[in-house]
């Protein structure tokens, strides 16, 4: 399914892309739609996957590597060489459940910070794959959470913006050397 962008799931000493951290403006810019899914996009997908696996992540959005495009890669089974990663281009959430669930999240752009976030449990998302083919996907559990987290990145939103316990968040951010001022709480 994703053979054209398949990369080995391993850590590289020199990952191809640099991940930007909380406080960096590139994380706050809305990403643009991709008009043509071409070889250049597929090469970016490969490099994002390699960078994600190198950082022990399960998801990465293009703005995190300073690319202003609506492109997401996700792999909830990074230890399973047979499981293909998800590549979501121009993703749109078509529907989400009224039921919500709470779980801890982290982000490669905010290393060391893990906090609980409330999100809809089930989503249906429409997107293009790495061949430019339109697809839809119903997701629940970790995959649903990962997609919602990465789609937030495309709108310049970070998971810390959604954390309700701001006192605990401030403490965690300071512990990891991040400024609580870099958070834009969602009203
Ligand atoms: Ni993230």
Is residue 4's pLDDT more than 80? no
Would 158 be classed as within a structural domain? yes
The overall average pLDDT reported for the chain is 96
Report how many domains make up the chain. Answer: 1
Give distance in angstroms: CA of 151 to centre of ligand 1.
Answer: 9
Three-state DSSP at 28 gives: helix
Catalytic residue among 150, 164, 171, 172: 150
Q: What CATH number does residue 59 fall under?
A: 3.90.45.10
Task: Verify whether residue 150 is a known catalytic residue.
Answer: yes
Would 150 be classed as within a structural domain? yes
Would 186 be classed as within a structural domain? no
At a CB cut-off of 8 Å and minimum separation 6, what does 6 contact? 84
**Across 104-129, average pLDDT:** 98
Q: The domain containing residue 127 runs over which residues?
A: 25-178
Convert 169-179 to b/e letters by CB count within 10 Å (16 or more is b).
Answer: bbebbeeeebe
pLDDT at 179: 97
Is residue 1's pLDDT more than 90? no
Give distance in angstroms: CA of 107 to centre of ligand 1.
Answer: 4
For residue range 78-92, what is the model confidence (pLDDT) as tens digits? 999 999 999 999 999
Would 159 be classed as within a structural domain? yes
Would 91 be classed as within a structural domain? yes
Q: Return the HEC string of 117-132.
A: EEEECCEEEEEECCCC
Would 15 be classed as within a structural domain? no
Whole-angstrom Cα distance, residue 170 to residue 103?
18
Would 6 be classed as within a structural domain? no
Whole-angstrom Cα distance, residue 160 to residue 95?
23
Is residue 2's pLDDT more than 70? no
Give distance in angstroms: CA of 82 to centre of ligand 1.
Answer: 24
153 membership: H or E segment, kind and range: helix 141-154
Q: How many residues does the chain have?
A: 187
Would 64 be classed as within a structural domain? yes
For residue range 26-71, what is the model confidence (pLDDT) as tens digits? 999 999 999 999 999 999 999 999 999 999 999 999 999 999 999 9
Give distance in angstroms: CA of 89 to centre of ligand 1.
Answer: 16
């Amino acid at each position: 399914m994703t053979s054209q962008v398949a990369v080995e799931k391993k850590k590289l000493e020199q990952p191809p892309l640099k991940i930007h951290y909380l406080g960096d403006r590139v994380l706050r810019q809305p990403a643009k739609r991709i008009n043509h899914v071409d070889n250049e996009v597929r090469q970016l997908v490969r490099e994002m996957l390699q960078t994600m696996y190198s950082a022990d992540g399960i998801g990465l959005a293009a703005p995190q590597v300073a690319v202003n495009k609506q492109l997401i890669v996700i792999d909830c089974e990074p230890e399973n060489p047979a499981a293909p990663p998800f590549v979501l281009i121009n993703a749109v959430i078509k529907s989400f459940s009224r039921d919500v669930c709470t779980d801890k999240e982290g982000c490669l752009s905010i290393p060391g910070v893990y906090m609980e976030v409330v999100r809809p449990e089930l989503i249906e998302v429409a997107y293009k794959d790495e061949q430019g083919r339109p697809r839809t996907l119903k997701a629940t559990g970790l995959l649903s959470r990962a997609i919602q987290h990465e789609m937030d990145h495309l709108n310049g939103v970070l998971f810390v913006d959604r954390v309700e316990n701001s006192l605990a968040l401030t403490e965690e951010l300071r512990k990891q050397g991040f400024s609580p001022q870099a958070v834009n709480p969602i009203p």
